[in-house]
Structure 1
Amino acid sequence: MAKSLELDTEQSALPKHDLIFEDINQEKSPPLSLTFVPAIMDIKESWDKSSTSLQIPRQVENHYRTHITDTSFLIKHPLPNSIIVQSNQSRAGNRSSVTPTNKEGRKLDVLVCHLYLVASFVIRVSNYQATMGAYHRLWNKILPILQTTPEDVRTAALNIHLEAITLAKQQHLAAHHIADAASKSLVSSITLRQHAWVRSSRIMNDARTCIEELPFDGAGLFNEKTDYVMENLHKIHKTARLYAIQQPRVKSWADAFGEDLYYIVTKYSGSLLLQKKYKDVEPTLKIKEVDGLELVKKFSEEMESMLRRKVEAVERLVEAAEDADLYHEFNSSLEFDYYNAVLINEKDENDNYVELGNEFVLEPNEHFNNLLVNTTYSDIQLPTNVYNKDPAILNGVYMSEALNPIFVDNFERDPTLTWQYFGSSTGFFRLYPGIKWTPDENGVLSFDCRNRGWYIQAATSPKDIVIIVDISGSMKGLRLTIAKHTVVTILDTLGENDFVNIIAYNDYVHYVESCFKGILVQADRDNREHFKQLVDELQAKGVGTVNKALTEAFRILMEFRSAGQGGLCNQAIMLITDGAMEDYKYVFEKFNWPDRKVRVFTYLIGREVSFAQNVKWIACNNKGYYTQISTLADVQENVMEYLHVLSRPMVINHDHDIIWTEAYMDSALFASQAQSLLLMTTVAMPVFSKKNETRSHGILLGVVGSDVPLRELLKLAPRYKLGVHGYAFLNTNNGYILSHPDLRPLYKEGKKLKPKPNYNSVDLSEVEWEDLDETLRTAMINGETGYLSMDVKVPVDKGKRVLFLTNDYFYTDISGTPFSLGVVLSRGHGEYILLGNTSVEEGLHDLLQPDITLANEWIYCITDIDPGHRKLSQLEAVIRFLTGEEADLECDEELVQEVLFDAVVTAPMEAYWTTLALNMSDETEGGVEMAFMGTRAGLIRSSLYVGSEKVSNRKFLSSDKESIFTMDHFPLWYRRAAEYPSGSFIYSFSFEEASGGMPEAVTVSTSVTVTVGGKTGIAAVFHPPEIKGSVKAG
């Protein structure tokens, strides 16, 4: 059979790399995978070869070729110089973009040649399979002859026949698979290469253009879907040809529209006129380069001075409270009527004031956001669970009456003060100015001053706490519920300066959060909430072994103390259990005695007293405190006791540490307060008993404090000094934002605004996210002074647009506080400040024009100190200051001078706009609504070209915060125009105001710049006429 196939004689003529014929010639066919991989590698070689014509030996080519007469379906392989290359040569001018280059064409030729050779292999394999039929016919003729031969000869012949058939099938099948795989791989290679070329060329566009320009619709030439598309294209082009619409004509329309639009916005804005006016006064102008480091240091000093005044006010309250207690003798039978904040002005059915509810005059006060307050007296608030006539309460309230004149005196000395208060350790809260408190819908007043962050931070020092909770089987049911509530209450007494971990124990010890094994973590809001969730999932089972848990707790605290980590002050273990039976004395001897550096507080859960003595012994022998908690109502009072114990060293040493809290919104206290005063920080100090007989006991009387609205603090970093995109921000020593333009603490739920859960624990890196290496964050945490630069992306227009800026960050600490101040100036506009000069008489005349307004959130003059000034707008205050009507007004003279200068230079705009309005044609330019402009000093001029009732957006320039100057930012139209060359108009659409998804008006803006000594500054931004239905300008 092998001889009839002539494999041996023809194999010698084949190239060495012909794997297919090598496989066929082998006695045993190798596995398919072994031949498939070399075949693929052979194909890859041809792909990677340099692009040269494939050299095919004539002998091999003749060997593989099958004549057309023999195999009608086999196509001869093309010559190396294929049709693709020929077409490429005929269009040499477009070679790089229309067809493959000669090099690419030759590569395709190589692959196609290989493909046809493989097809030849497939035919030959088929031919060999066909010869097997002749072999079978021959064998069938030989078979009767074999029946006459001896049995051993017949058996040998049959075995040879069977082996031959088996080998032939294996070899033919392997050869067929190899050829098939090689052909498919080559086809894929060719297809991919052609596809890659097609995508990178313009042949698709050329083909589409050719099809679209067909004089007929192409129906019937393609499939149904293509026919439908072709028909529509044909109709479009037919219509276009009908009206002779051509690309040059459309372009001319666009150019004409652009020219008309430019003419309208230029004419009705008057930007060219104003540019000329500023050009005329350029010789009198100065452009000063801003020194960012000097600026941030100056702001920091002013803020430190302001905050120092708040500290002094608190210190006066502390002194008065301690002196009042010193001379007060406790009277258990004292009767004293005080103003109860819940009961004031309340009457009974006989129209008589109820007990503790006498008449208390309340009046709206602008300084306190128009809340009803009494600025001559304070009143008392108590939580519902505190009896308002308890002797301890009555004595404390009577003693603290001495604070009333100090409250009033502080407010007179510093009219920028807001709320002042004294929180007593017995539970009452004295607040100035006095207000009316309202219980919730259930008649409960849950506010307890002793639970507030400012009280806890002032009453104690930073602390490292390990909470150990018993989850053995005996803790099931109500006991476990009380234990969980106790853990949660302890967590609520911790702050950002504290460190904590929680260990649960039964038969073995485990951390409630396995990721925190062996360490303490900062007790910030996120970690506390995470712990609360994990504690809630605890289940009671097994037997409790407290020794192992205590050992683990001591080990953690000892390692942190040795490493200089954690709070570096107080360390304590909180043991929450229903009993302790085993011998635990050796644990304390090993880890805590005799120095007793770690206090141990124990909370016995349940009404049983069997193990009370043991649990009490643990606390008393480790400088702690023991308490028994029988019900959920007992938890709050009993947990708070540990704070008094931790405060004893401070009390004994009379360490009046000043604390500043993180930013917070006390919604429980000021539910009706406006957002502008919601975000605040508190300065607080502890109040101690100075009596000789109690001094050694370390008795904490309470905490006094005062709130500082953060907006008041940022007023000391004037907006006009920071440039178009600049801003100031405050950071705490824990890396959390105190104030930042991108800090959005509220979210909307229905129609109500509510604080976000983690609004006061937003890290600086979450807002200034380009600070990838946390260089800025680290420097500010460490209280360093310096600067750095970053390329930033600034979202504007509620996140719909982004500005790409290079910002310079300048930072320093605020002395006497844990805060750092950062000032951001943008490269370009933020580097320079424009200074003009004019006479008061000339400027005042132009400032009185009716089309002028000033940024009312900017501080041109301080109007919130004198009650007689609080109703004045900033423009009115400036005018009264300049005319001398209010000689005691304190104003920013530099900013007022810039306003006067801008008023003089921009004065011609009023007459210009008025003339245009009088001569305006409704037919040609009736869509123009309004023109206005703003300067870097916050001055805005505006003019209406239509009646006010026809203006599309009536909130524009009034209540729309994005379109006016605010404490946080320049108007959006100002910021966007500032990033484009002077004279370029920026068009904006406001879809929110539109109906049916279409904008009602187009807002256009352009900048006006001034160049002095090679330095360029923005003098003003025009918002050319707002154009309804077509264009809006400003």
Structure 2
Amino acid sequence: MKAIVIVFYLVSCVVANKQTRKDYDRILSLVSHWSKEIGERLTSLSETMTRIGQVQQSFDPLEDHLTKEKPELFLNKIATDIRIMMDTKAEAVLNVAEYAEFLSFHRKNESLEPHSEYFYFNADTINDTSWESERVADLDKEIRKNECRWACNQINVTQLPHNIFSNTSFRQHLFELRKHEKGTSCQCEDIKHWKLSEMNYTYLHLPTIYDPRYQEQVNTNLSMVKVPINVWERDKDVLEGVRWSEALDLVFKYNLEKDPSLTWQYFASPHGFMRHYPAIQWSDEQYNKTYDFRTRTWYTEAITSPKDIIVLLDRSGSMKGTRRALSQQIVNQILDTLNDNDFVNIYTFTNTTEPLVDCFNDTLFQANEENLRLLRENLNVYDEAYSANMVLGFKKAFDILENFRQTGTSARCNQAIILISEGIDYDYRKEMFFEHNKDRDFPLRVFAFQIGQDPNDAKEMEWIACANMGYWGNMTHMGDIREKMLSYLNVMSRPINYNGKTPNKPNRNYIWSYLHVDLADRRLSNWLWKKFEGIRQREVFLEHIRNEMIRKKKNMPPNYVLLQTHHDYEKYEGKSAYKYMTTVSLPVYGRREDETELIGVAGIDVPLYNFKERIPHYRLGVNGYAFVVTNNGYILIHPEHRTEFENILKPTFNRVDILEVEVLDDEREPRLFGDAVIKLRELLVNQNETMPITLNVKFPLNDMKRVILSRRHYYYSKIGPFTLGIVLPDKYGFTKVDAGNIPRPSPVEKIYNAINNSTFWTVHPEWVYCQKCKVDQTPVEKVKTAFSKNEKSELLNALFHDLVATSWFDSTNSSFKM
């Protein structure tokens, strides 16, 4: 490739009137000569440095090995591999869910009071993680005794219909990990119940060791319990739930034995505890410490079906000060429980009913992050006035929800009205609720949250909620809000729990969440973005002040407050190793006759690398790539998905639509999408596997410094709730190289040394060269292991061919000879 050098010759003086045309032409000729000579020398230098002629000569023989790629077959192979991986994770979470149902069904009805001498490993109170041999031995002995007790307690339990663990032989698989105990009688040693005086030694010291699968210090011999900060860890329901769920450790370890690539597994209870495997010491970062699984999408989507929610917010004259703050906090907590499959709107009511956001009148809209943020921002802009006439609000809500039931343009599953009010200022007709709800076989539920303390209002609001299959709660303190508000989710879970009590085997629907980052809280992202923008504006202002001082020749005092350089944002400025993942979860049914609500949610995290390592990027070729989108069109995986900015996680990083990254080559303004790319999105979201689509697109290169125009072909296939797509550039994208079977040199160290000791060689850190390697091996070590185990694959053959073809490139590698 010829290098083109353009020399800009800037003349700073003005040509005098006496300068002739001949002089001017001579200058232009001289500049042209310089440009040509410099360009030729740079081209020669680049050819010498890169040895491009030798490179071309080394790869010329491959021309005889070019074959045509069949995109449909290629896509199907990738999709099949990913489906198998997803099915394996789904099977593991099903084991957790069914064993939790089995344990709960057969739990003993023994009360545990807060003052009892029952303790457990609480993730927030563990303060010692040292791996001391004596402590490890004591803990292992305790675990063995517990497992013996769990096994013996399950020998003669009654059957539970449609549960895999009702099969005694299958249940025995859980205990095979302790092989030395097989066949022994149930003479378990007495389980020591540690007293409070011994708690520091027993439950505050959890030995952990680094495990590369989790990139954390963990203990894979047991699970621990995480309790949200607003839940008392000694609450009666928490203690009883933690005790009956202890034996879940068996299924956690069984799953990990079957699939060593598994990461975090957990069982989450609506009572406020989450059993988390493997055990870890929880992060003490302020947002991580306030982690509440009950507001995470994998939990809320599993414990309730998609919802249509209308919130009626009292804005009468008495809703000022503390009452307004309480009502806003309730709304924010409700919004935290919604996700992309839900639809929502908020109306304020006095003697009229108005939408909180003017442009969202007479409608419901998707509860995505952008819309929820808009609602939160507008909670501060309405004025309180007059008296509250909730009848107007209910009429508006009933009409909107009925309209969406008939048109089928919303979640089309569960519907609810949530009333937030100080009390009842107007008379109302109870018949209104019969006409719109009971007489129509209860198409929706009504929840009532009272902020005032009037007992008569409480009685009426409780009737409104209970007569409409809802829940009433009185909230007069900030600390009451989270727990009482979350009760609405438990009520909404009842229809799902009925599914688990049918005579036939329950039809379980696996929930795959959208993209998220391990413990990362969206509140942290929002806060960091505000701090980032505030600090940026502060620096601009400071620069202006400094310039003004310099201009006026004044000295700024050294202790001037605007010159402070430290701020609470600093600790987040460094690069963070975010762990991107999705989560597969299942509702856990309450199988006892008296249980009307779900008893929890089982979940397993699935890191994105589980998807990426099954995509053969080397076969996609230059400018080819693969992507995965959710059922809402949001990106799960895409090479142009930029989730961070200035080391900050973008607040809406997991709500980036496929339309935002596939940019048509047209003259449209940003966010004005062409029909062709909209058609592509519809096919992806609806999982309509028809003919491939061809688009002319703009594609960025070099970290968005350059853009190329390209014609590309899109192929796509369903993988569970997601859609996999591959994109191939026109013409050359359908051609691949078959390097053939190249004899492998021996010993293997020749290949290893050629890669490891070369100045210019390395291997791709994300490509899978070895299927049987350890997780903690470096990419080069994995290549060495793959060769030593005589693994064979297209990628290894291609790697070997490149080593042979370019063995001359590094002159220091004299030992590498073929």
- Match 1:772 to one of 668, 674, 698: 674
What is the CA deviation profile of residues 574-601 of structure 1, one whole-angstrom value per residue up to 9, with x for unaligned ones?
1111222412213223211221211111
Residues in 1 aligned to 2:457 and 2:769: alpha-carbon distance in whole angstroms: 69
Matches of residues 25-36 of structure 1 in structure 2 within 5 Å? none
CA distance in 2, matches of 1:631, 1:233: 89
- The equivalent residue for 1:835 is 738
2:350 corresponding residue in structure 1 = 506
Matched letter for residue 768 of structure 1? E
**Matched AA of 2:236:** P
> 8 Å contact 2:318–2:384 — kept in the other structure?
yes
Residues 663 and 699 of structure 2 are in contact (CA less than 8 Å); yes or no, is this contact kept in structure 1?
no
| Mapped pair 1:806 → 2:711 | yes
Q: Give the structure 1 partner of residue 488 of structure 2.
A: 642
Is the counterpart of residue 432 in structure 1 residue 277 in structure 2?
A: yes
Contact 1:468 1:575 in 2 (8 A): yes
User: Structure 1 residue 895: deviation in Å?
Assistant: 0.9
User: Considering only CA atoms, is the larger Rg found in Structure 1 or Structure 2?
Assistant: 1
CA distance in 2, matches of 1:797, 1:872: 30
1:861 corresponds to 2:774:
no
Query: Equivalent of 2:337, from 487, 490, 493?
Result: 493
Q: Distance in 1 between matches of 2:333 and 2:127?
A: 35
| Counterpart secondary structure, 1:841 | coil
Letter in 1 for 2:470: G
Cα displacement string for residues 778-822 of structure 1 (whole angstroms, at most 9, x for unaligned residues): 1101012242111222222222211222111111211xx321111
Residue identity matched to 2:606: V
One-letter code of the match for 2:252?
Answer: F
Classify 1:789/1:668 alpha carbon distance in 2 versus 1 (closer, same or farther; 3 Å).
Answer: closer
**Of 510, 531, 544, the match for 1:658:** 510
Contact 1:337 1:356 in 2 (8 A): no
Q: Which amino acid aligns with 2:479?
A: A
Q: Which residue of 2 aligns with 1:416?
A: 261
CA–CA distance in 2 between the matches of 1:573 and 1:250?
Answer: 77
Structure 1 Cα separation of the partners of residues 292 and 490 of structure 2 = 16
Aligned twin of 1:172:
none
Q: How far, CA to CA, are the matches of 1:318 and 1:649 in structure 2?
A: 18
Partner SS state of residue 623, structure 2: coil
CA contact (8 A) 2:715 2:725 kept: yes
C-alpha displacement of 1:558: 0.7
The one of 725, 737, 745 equivalent to 2:623 is 725
Larger RCO, structure (CA 8 Å, separation 6 or more): 2
Measure, in 2, the Cα distance between the counterparts of 1:873 and 1:355.
Answer: 38
Instruction: Give the one of 583, 588, 603 matched to 1:705.
Output: 603
Q: Give the secondary structure class of the aligned counterpart of 1:354.
A: helix
Are residues 1:296 and 2:75 paired? yes
Spell out the pairing of 1:610-629 with structure 2 (5 A cutoff).
610-629=456-475
Please give the TM-score of this superposition, normalised by the length of structure 2.
0.76
Tell me the CA shift for residue 275 of structure 1: 2.2
The amino acid across from 1:704 in the alignment is: A
Per-residue CA distance 1:89-145 (angstroms, 9 max, x = gap): xxxxxxxxxxxxxxxxxxxxxxxxxxxxxxxxxxxxxxxxxxxxxxxxxxxxxxxxx
- What is the aligned counterpart of 1:278 among 47, 59, 64? 59
1:468–1:503 contact (8 Å) kept in structure 2 = yes
Q: What is the aligned-residue RMSD (CA, Å)?
A: 3.1
Q: Aligned equivalents of 2:782 and 2:316: distance in 1?
A: 71
1:308 aligns to what?
Answer: 87
Q: CA shift at 1:258, angstroms?
A: 3.7
SS for the counterpart of 2:517 is coil
Change (3 A) 1:669 1:330: farther
Question: Quick one: distance in 2 between partners of 1:648 and 1:712?
Answer: 34
Q: What secondary structure does 2:370 align onto?
A: helix
Question: Are residue 590 (structure 1) and residue 419 (structure 2) matched?
Answer: no
After TM superposition, list the pairs within 5 Å mapping 1:538-553 onto structure 2: 538-553=382-397
Q: Is the 8 A contact 1:495 1:524 kept in 2?
A: yes
For residue 763 of structure 2, what is the amino acid of its counterpart?
A: A
| Aligned position for 2:670 | none
Partner of 2:652, secondary structure, is coil
Question: What is the distance in 1 between the residues matched to 2:18 and 2:800?
Answer: 63
Give the whole-Å Cα distance in 2 for the aligned partners of 1:351 and 1:271.
Answer: 75
1:335 is the counterpart of 2:120: no
1:461-485 superposed Cα distances (whole Å, 9 cap, x missing partner): 0111111111122323322221121
Q: Which residue of 2 aligns with 1:385?
A: 230
Distance 1:233 1:356 in 2: 98
- Structure 1: where are the runs of 5+ without partners? 1-211, 213-225, 916-940, 942-1034
Q: Which string of whole-angstrom CA distances, capped at 9 and with x for unpartnered residues, describes residues 421-463 of structure 1?
A: 1111111121111111144569x93222212221111100011
Change (3 A) 1:526 1:802: same
Residue deviations 1:931-979, cap 9 Å, x none? xxxxxxxxxx9xxxxxxxxxxxxxxxxxxxxxxxxxxxxxxxxxxxxxx
How far the C-alpha of 1:529 sits from its partner, in A, is 1.1
Contact 1:859–1:892 at 8 Å: present in 2 too? no
AA at the equivalent of 2:48? K
Superposition pairs for residues 683-762 of structure 1, below 5 Å?
683-692=584-593, 694-695=594-595, 698-748=596-646, 753-762=647-656
Question: Corresponding residue for 1:935?
Answer: none
> Residue 639 of structure 2: SS of its match in structure 1?
coil
1:845-884, Cα deviation, whole Å (9 max, x unpaired): 5664343634232434346x65xx33433333333333x3
1:679 correspondence with 2:580: yes
Work out whether residues 317 and 387 of structure 2, in 8 Å CA contact, stay in contact via their aligned partners in 1: yes
Q: Structure 2 CA distance, aligned partners of 1:436 and 1:236?
A: 81
- Identity of aligned pairs, percent? 31
Is 1:895 aligned to 2:795, yes or no? yes
Is the alpha carbon distance of 1:233 and 1:732 closer, same or farther for their aligned partners in structure 2, counting shifts above 3 Å? Answer: farther
Cα distance in structure 1, aligned partners of 2:15 and 2:38? 32
Q: 1:335, CA displacement in angstroms?
A: 3.2
> Judging changes above 3 Å, is the alpha-carbon distance between structure 1 residues 229 and 430 closer, same or farther for their aligned structure 2 residues?
same
Task: Tell me which residue corresponds to 1:468.
Answer: 312
Equivalent residues in 2 for 1:144-159, closer than 5 Å: none
1:404 aligned residue (241, 249, 268): 249
Distance 1:598 1:282 in 2: 67
CA shift in 2, pair 1:901/1:547, >3 Å:
same
Alpha-carbon distance in structure 2 between the residues aligned to 1:544 and 1:351: 56
Matched, 1:870 2:772: no
Output the amino acid matched with 1:840: P
* Letter of the structure 2 residue corresponding to residue 832 of structure 1: T
Q: Which of residues 685, 691, 694 in structure 2 aligns to 1:789?
A: 694
Residues 450, 267 of structure 1: CA spacing in aligned structure 2 closer, same or farther, 3 A cutoff? closer
TM value normalised by structure 1: 0.61
Measured after TM superposition, the shift of residue 669 of structure 1 is 8.0
Query: Who is 1:207 aligned against?
Result: none
Shift of 1:702: 1.2
Distance in 2 separating the partners of 1:707 and 1:606: 42
Pairwise CA distance, 1:274? 3.0
Pick the aligned partner of 2:300 from 436, 442, 456. 456
Tell me if the contact between 1:860 and 1:892 (Cα under 8 Å) persists in the aligned partners.
no
Residue aligned with 2:777, SS: coil
| Aligned-partner residue type, residue 839 of structure 1 | I
Task: Kindly tell me the number of residue pairs found equivalent between the two proteins.
Answer: 664
Q: Are the counterparts in 1 of residues 423 and 452 from structure 2 also a CA contact under 8 Å? A: no
Q: Aligned partners of 1:259 and 1:401: how far apart in 2?
A: 75
| CA 823–664 in structure 1, closer or farther in 2 if over 3 Å, else same | same
From the superposition, tell whether residues 262 and 587 of structure 1 become closer, same or farther in structure 2 (CA, over 3 Å): same
- Relative to structure 1, the CA distance from residue 287 to residue 470 in structure 2 (aligned partners, 3 Å threshold; closer, same or farther) is same
Deviation at 1:638, TM superposition (A): 1.1
Q: Which moved more, 1:305-314 or 1:510-519?
A: 510-519
Question: Does the aligned pair in 1 maintain the 2:447–2:465 contact within 8 Å?
Answer: yes
Q: 1:739 to 1:253 in 2, by over 3 A?
A: same
C-alpha displacement at 1:629, in angstroms?
1.1
Q: Secondary structure at the match of 1:515?
A: coil
Amino acid at match of 2:674: L
Distance 1:470 1:264 in 2: 76
User: Structure 2 counterpart of 1:379, which letter?
Assistant: M
